C-alpha cells in the first residue's frame, strides 16, 4: 500500500493519494471549473506536489457532478483580446503532458474550450456518452488555442477534428464515439469506475517502467507541439487584435 494523503475539502482542486493512485478532483463549484487565477494556481500546485511524491504510479483527473472543466473565463478572454496576456501565460495547457506519471482524464461531465483541451492531453481519455464536449473557440470569433490544432485531430481523427475546430459546435460523447473517436466513451455513470479500473491495472507494474513508457509516448508530442503553439499564438495576434467582432462575440455569447 502507498502513503495515503487526504484531500483539502476547502480547495478548488483537491488531491488525494492512496495505493499509488493520485486522484485530482477539480471542484470549483462557484465558477464551474473555469480558469480563474485561484483555480489555475491550485492546479499547478497539485501537480507540483504529485511530481515530488515518492509512491505515486498513476494520476486520475476528474471534475464534479455535471462538469469536468469549462476553460477560460470571460475576463481572461477579454484580456487576451486586449493584448494583455496570451493563453500560454496560464502555464497549464500541457500540464498533463508534462506530468511524469501516466494520467487518465475521467471526463465525467461537460468539457468546453481550454477545459476540454486540458483533459485531452492525458495519456488515456475516458468520456461520457451523455455529456457535451466542445472546442468552442471559434464560437467567439477567434482561432483555437491551447495546442488544440494539434491534439484534437490527433485524438478524434483529422476530418472530425477539423470539423470540431471550425464549427465550434457541441458534441455529445455518443456522437463522437459513433464517428470514430480515439478515446474511451462510456455511460456517464461508468466514467469514474472505468478510469479507476484502468488505474488499478497500472499500479501492479514497476514504477520505473511506467515512467519510462510515459516519457517514450510523450517525447514526439513534446517535439511537435511547440510549432503548433507558435502558430496558434500568431493566429491569436491576428484574430484578437484585428477584429472588433471578437469582443462583441465574447460579450454576447459567453456563458450561453
Distance CA 44, CA 46 (A): 6
Kind of pairing between the strands at 132-134 and 110-112: parallel
Phi, psi of 158 (to 5 degrees): -60, -45
Distance CA 114, CA 86 (A): 13
Distance CA 101, CA 103 (A): 6
Distance CA 138, CA 215 (A): 33
Known catalytic residue at 53: no
Q: Kindly name the residue from 62, 110, 236, 252 that is annotated as catalytic.
A: 236
Nearest C-alpha neighbor of 12 from the set 23, 59, 21, 33: 33
Which are the catalytic amino acids? 236
Amino acid at each position: 500500500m502507498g502513503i495515503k494523503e487526504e484531500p483539502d475539502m476547502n480547495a478548488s482542486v483537491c488531491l488525494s493519494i492512496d495505493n499509488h493512485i493520485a486522484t485530482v478532483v477539480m471542484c470549483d463549484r462557484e465558477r464551474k471549473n473555469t480558469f480563474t487565477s485561484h483555480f489555475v494556481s491550485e492546479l499547478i500546485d497539485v501537480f507540483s506536489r504529485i511530481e515530488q511524491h515518492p509512491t505515486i504510479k498513476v494520476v486520475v483527473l476528474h471534475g464534479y457532478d455535471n462538469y469536468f472543466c469549462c476553460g477560460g473565463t470571460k475576463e481572461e478572454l477579454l484580456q487576451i483580446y486586449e493584448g494583455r496576456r496570451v493563453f500560454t501565460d496560464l502555464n497549464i495547457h500541457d500540464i498533463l503532458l508534462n506530468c511524469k506519471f501516466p494520467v487518465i482524464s475521467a471526463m465525467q461531465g461537460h468539457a468546453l474550450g481550454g477545459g476540454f483541451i486540458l483533459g485531452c492531453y492525458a495519456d488515456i481519455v475516458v468520456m461520457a456518452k451523455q455529456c457535451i464536449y466542445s472546442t468552442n473557440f471559434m464560437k467567439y470569433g477567434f482561432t483555437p488555442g491551447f495546442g488544440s490544432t494539434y491534439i484534437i485531430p490527433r485524438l478524434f481523427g483529422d476530418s472530425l477534428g477539423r470539423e470540431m475546430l471550425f464549427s465550434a459546435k457541441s458534441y455529445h460523447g455518443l456522437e463522437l464515439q459513433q464517428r470514430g473517436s480515439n478515446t474511451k466513451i462510456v455511460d456517464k455513470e461508468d466514467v469514474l469506475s472505468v478510469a479507476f479500473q484502468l488505474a488499478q491495472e497500472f499500479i501492479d507494474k514497476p514504477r520505473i517502467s511506467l515512467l519510462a513508457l510515459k516519457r517514450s509516448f510523450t517525447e514526439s508530442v513534446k517535439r511537435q507541439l511547440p510549432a503548433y503553439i507558435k502558430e496558434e499564438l500568431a493566429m491569436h495576434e491576428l484574430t484578437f487584435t484585428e477584429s472588433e467582432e471578437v469582443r462583441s462575440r465574447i460579450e454576447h455569447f459567453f456563458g450561453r
